């Protein structure tokens, strides 16, 4: 079964845009993390698509490799989120502004 | 012909100064190694004098106009234009070399005794050798650039030595004054050199090629060069109007005064004019100006000296007066007579200062001649040698000063400059008066016996070290016999010195009868001066008191016409006011203000930019997105779109 590649691109773009929207608009750190994962997967999808369109499996390889890396990164990310929560008992990103310069002026 | 000896002569005193300075500063306990300092500090000038004698002996075997050069290396090389570091001994620099090293060595030996108890003994000799080396560099330089370096180093050395007793603020002020006034002169000198450099069309900047290239130059420009160079000489040789540092320079130890006045420093201006003789011969108007300044300085200084009470200041003004004679000579173009008077003056002036130093040491640093009084019986050696020097400077026949001074005056008369001649004769009278005033009051007249002054208490006389006595006799011998070296033809001599010097002299001939009359007049005038001094200071049987000046003009002269105050009002204060004004207005408001404005601007920009870093994660993400989007668009449109 062959599907038009444009459909893959459309899905990837949609996924990426959703991710960006999530990062920009949501305050919950977990949701921001999920949105980042969405963007990563959109990129993965594009890589796999291009790889199939050309006689070259390199893109697929990178996509597979990235899935592994993303799994490892997820473990780190979740650990960081737990640590952050312990500090302030909240996951609201707006609560963490210690390093800001503009606020104090 | 070339030889390495001249550069060795210059190097030796500098080497001595370096070694002594190093030991004094960095060797533990090195400050008390007095015997080491004596060995090095006196050895270096003596060795230089010995080498100087060898070089001059070699020079005398060569033909008249020959010279011994000692090229070291090429300093500046621009295309075909070279400035070499090279030293040259010709007849003129040979005379200077001998005067500087021989008289300088004697002063070094004398200084051993004079400075023995000073804690800065090593430092003093390091400076002293440095001074001598700087003067030798000046005298033996083969080009004006090198001469200027020596010229500046001499100024630096004099600054260090005048301010040697640095615990007293007045001495520091005197040192600063000498330094600053010399800078004023040096500004003229270096401007003159720069102009000469521009005028110079041929490759090479040594004296020979400069004088070879003078032929085509514009006389007006040359006059300016000559005038500017003489401004330097005014500063260095203490002529009107830049002389005011000389009396204040007496703040230094007495051997320093002897060295400044006899061998180094003040004679540099006269030497420089003689060295540039081919230049000054082309611009007789400037020469006349130089002679005029010399005569005016001689007269003014003689007047001042007649009213001073400080023994060293009298001698200081007398130096200025004698330098005036030398400038009359070189200004009128009889360079060899000027140099001869310089050489003779070096001997008797060194002797006078060293005698004065002996008196000052013996009386525990009392310098007022009216508080010293009647020392003749107590210091017979000093009295006799001082008498020789006084007779020499007064111009009594057979002493050196008679021949050297009368040659200058006779020439001034013969060449038709009767005003200058008359001024010279007046100065001769004043010289006789003030020198014998000094001699009579210090050595002959009964002492001033006030119980408060320890000067009159014979028990408190300090014994004089031997190294302070015997150099006096050598110098006295020089003061007596040096004159015969240039015995005029009228007295059966042959002007050997003047002919041997081989300078581009003007000549004017006098008949022997005229010369006898002129000389007779000079001697008469000198005797008259002595008689006046005798009447005033020896005849009265009662102890002398310092003169009380009742009349306004007497007070004015005793205060040297308030010239220092006038300079202070006219130049120093306006300059200080200007500096204050700049300090108060321009510096803080315009310069600091603009800098502060710039700082405030950058600070404002930085603070505004810092607002971007507000800690809001979503805001960061948005700007990040916008940035990446913009970059992608740029890549797509500007770069990717092309293919």
What is the longest distance spanned by two Cα atoms in chain A?
A: 61
* A51 touching chain B per CB within 8 A: no
Q: Is the bond leading into B241 cis (omega within 30 degrees of zero)?
A: yes
Q: Quick: pLDDT tens for B599-614.
A: 999 999 988 888 777 7
Q: Is residue A43 part of a domain?
A: yes
Using only C-alpha atoms, what is the Rg of chain A?
18
Q: Quick: pLDDT tens for B361-405.
A: 888 778 888 877 667 777 888 888 999 999 999 988 888 888 888
Helix (H) or strand (E) holding B130: helix B121-140
* Residue B452 pLDDT exceeds 80: no
Q: Which residue has the higher pLDDT, B461 or A20?
A: A20
Which chain B residues are within 8 Å of A94, Cβ to Cβ?
616-617
Closest listed residue to residue B443, CA positions, set B546, B351, B534, B308: B534
Is residue B322 within 8 A of residue B277, CB to CB? The reply is no
The whole domain housing A18 covers 5-100
Beta bridge partners of B71: B86
Nearest to B615 among A24, A97, A105 (CB): A97
Which chain B residues are within 8 Å of A105, Cβ to Cβ?
607, 610-611
Q: Is residue A44 part of a domain?
A: yes
Using alpha carbons only, give the angle B218, B224, B229 rounded to the nearest 5 degrees: 125
Q: Give percent of chain B above pLDDT 90.
A: 38
Confidence (pLDDT) at A4: 85
Beta bridge partners of B85: B73
Residue B619: alpha-carbon gap to chain centroid? 78
* A88 touching chain B per CB within 8 A: no
B457 pLDDT band, cuts 50/70/90, is very low
Mean pLDDT (whole number) for B617-635:
88
- CA B559, B563, B565, B566 torsion: positive or negative? positive
Is residue B498 within 8 A of residue B505, CB to CB? The reply is yes
Report CB contact under 8 Å: B618, A24.
Answer: yes
Q: What is B371-426 written as a DSSP string?
A: HH---TTT-HHHHHHHHHHHHHHHT-TTSHHHHHHHHHHHHHHHTT-HHHHHHHHH
| B-interface mutation test, from A21, A100, A104, most B Cβ less than 10 A away | A100
Nearest to A102 among B610, B617, B618 (CB): B610
Residue A96 maps to which CATH number? 1.10.287.3510
Q: Is residue A105 part of a domain?
A: no
How far are the Cα atoms of A7, B13, B53, B98, B103 from residue B43, in angstroms, in the given order?
104, 9, 15, 16, 14
Q: What's the mean per-residue pLDDT of chain B?
A: 86
* DSSP secondary structure code for residue B583 in this structure: I
* Residue B169 pLDDT exceeds 50: yes
Tokens of B124: 């003093």
Predicted TM-score (pTM) of the model is 0.79
* DSSP secondary structure code for residue A28 in this structure: B
User: How far is residue B103's CA from residue B481's CA, in Å, rounded to a whole number?
Assistant: 15
Mean pLDDT (whole number) for B537-549:
71
Q: Tell me what percent of chain A is helix, strand and coil, each rounded to the nearest 5.
A: 75, 0, 20
Q: Is residue A60 part of a domain?
A: yes
Confidence (pLDDT) at B497: 80
User: Which residue carries 């990062």 as its tokens?
Assistant: A23
Q: Quick: pLDDT tens for B307-335.
A: 888 889 999 999 999 999 999 999 998 89
* B541 touching chain A per CB within 8 A: no
User: How far is residue B32's CA from residue B120's CA, in Å, rounded to a whole number?
Assistant: 9
Weakest mean pLDDT among A99-103, B302-306, B413-417:
A99-103
Mean pLDDT (whole number) for B123-130:
93
User: Which residue carries 């291009």 as its tokens?
Assistant: A50
Quote the number of domains for chain A: 1
């Amino acid at each position: 079964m062959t599907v038009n590649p444009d459909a893959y691109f459309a899905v990837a773009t949609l996924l990426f845009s959703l991710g960006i929207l999530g990062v920009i608009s949501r305050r919950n750190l977990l949701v921001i993390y999920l949105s980042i994962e969405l963007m990563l997967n959109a990129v993965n999808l594009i890589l796999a698509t291009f790889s199939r369109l050309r006689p070259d499996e390199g893109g697929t390889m990178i996509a597979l490799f990235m899935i592994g890396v993303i799994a490892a990164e997820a473990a780190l990310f979740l650990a960081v989120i737990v640590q952050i929560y312990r500090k302030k008992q909240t996951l609201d990103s707006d609560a963490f502004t210690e390093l800001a310069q503009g606020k104090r002026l | 012909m070339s030889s390495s000896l001249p550069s060795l002569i210059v190097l030796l005193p500098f080497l001595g100064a370096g070694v002594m300075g190093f030991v004094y500063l960095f060797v533990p306990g090195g400050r008390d190694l007095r015997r080491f300092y004596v060995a090095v500090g006196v050895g270096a000038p003596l060795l230089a004098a010995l080498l100087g004698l060898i070089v001059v002996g070699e020079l005398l075997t060569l033909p008249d106009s020959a010279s011994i050069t000692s090229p070291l290396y090429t300093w500046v090389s621009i295309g075909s234009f070279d400035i070499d570091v090279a030293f040259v001994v010709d007849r003129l620099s040979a005379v200077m070399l001998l005067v500087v090293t021989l008289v300088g060595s004697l002063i070094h030996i004398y200084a051993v005794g004079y400075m023995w108890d000073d804690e800065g003994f090593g430092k003093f000799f390091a400076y002293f050798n440095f001074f001598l080396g700087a003067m030798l560099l000046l005298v033996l330089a083969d080009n004006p650039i090198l001469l200027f370096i020596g010229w500046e180093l001499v100024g630096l050395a004099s600054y260090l030595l005048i301010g040697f007793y640095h615990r007293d603020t007045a001495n520091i002020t005197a040192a600063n004054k000498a330094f600053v006034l010399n800078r004023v002169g040096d500004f003229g000198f270096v401007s003159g050199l720069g102009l000469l450099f521009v005028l110079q069309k041929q490759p090479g900047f040594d004296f020979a090629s400069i004088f070879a290239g003078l032929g085509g130059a514009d006389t007006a420009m040359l006059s300016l060069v000559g005038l500017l160079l003489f401004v330097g000489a005014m500063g260095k040789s203490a002529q009107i109007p830049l002389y005011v540092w000389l009396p204040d320079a007496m703040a230094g130890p007495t051997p320093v005064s002897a060295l400044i006045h006899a061998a180094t420093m003040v004679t540099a201006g006269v030497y420089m004019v003689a060295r540039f003789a081919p230049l000054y011969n082309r611009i007789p108007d400037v020469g006349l100006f130089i002679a005029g300044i010399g005569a005016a300085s001689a007269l003014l200084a003689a007047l001042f000296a007649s009213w001073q009470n400080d023994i060293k200041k009298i001698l200081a003004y007398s130096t200025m007066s004698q330098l005036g004679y030398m400038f009359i000579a070189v200004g009128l173009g009889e360079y060899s007579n000027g140099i001869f008077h310089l050489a003779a003056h070096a001997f008797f002036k060194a002797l006078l200062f060293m005698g004065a130093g002996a008196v000052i040491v013996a009386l525990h640093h009392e310098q007022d001649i009216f508080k010293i009084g009647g020392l003749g019986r107590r210091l017979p050696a000093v009295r006799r040698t001082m008498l020789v020097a006084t007779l020499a400077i007064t111009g009594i026949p057979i002493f050196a000063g008679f021949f050297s001074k009368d040659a200058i005056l006779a020439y001034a008369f013969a060449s038709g400059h009767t005003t200058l001649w008359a001024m010279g004769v007046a100065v001769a009278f004043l010289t006789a008066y003030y020198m014998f005033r000094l001699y009579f009051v210090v050595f002959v007249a009964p002492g001033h016996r006030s119980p408060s002054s320890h000067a009159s208490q014979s028990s408190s006389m300090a014994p004089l070290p031997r190294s302070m006595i015997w150099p006096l006799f050598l110098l006295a011998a020089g003061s007596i016999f040096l004159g015969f070296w240039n015995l005029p033809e009228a007295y059966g001599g042959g002007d050997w010195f003047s002919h041997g010097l081989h300078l581009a002299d003007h000549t004017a001939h006098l008949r022997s009868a005229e010369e006898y009359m002129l000389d007779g007049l000079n001697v008469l005038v000198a005797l008259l001066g002595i008689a006046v001094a005798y009447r005033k200071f020896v005849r009265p049987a009662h102890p002398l008191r310092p003169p009380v000046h009742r009349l306004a003009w007497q007070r004015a002269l005793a205060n040297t016409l308030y010239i220092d105050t006038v300079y202070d009002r006219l130049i120093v204060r306006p300059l200080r006011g200007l500096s204050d004004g700049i300090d108060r207005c321009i510096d803080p408001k315009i310069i600091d203000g603009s800098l502060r404005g710039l700082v405030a601007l950058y600070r404002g920009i930085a603070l505004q930019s810092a607002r971007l870093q507000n800690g809001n994660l979503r805001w960061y993400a948005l700007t990040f997105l916008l940035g990446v989007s913009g970059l992608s668009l740029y890549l797509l449109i500007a770069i990717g779109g092309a293919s």
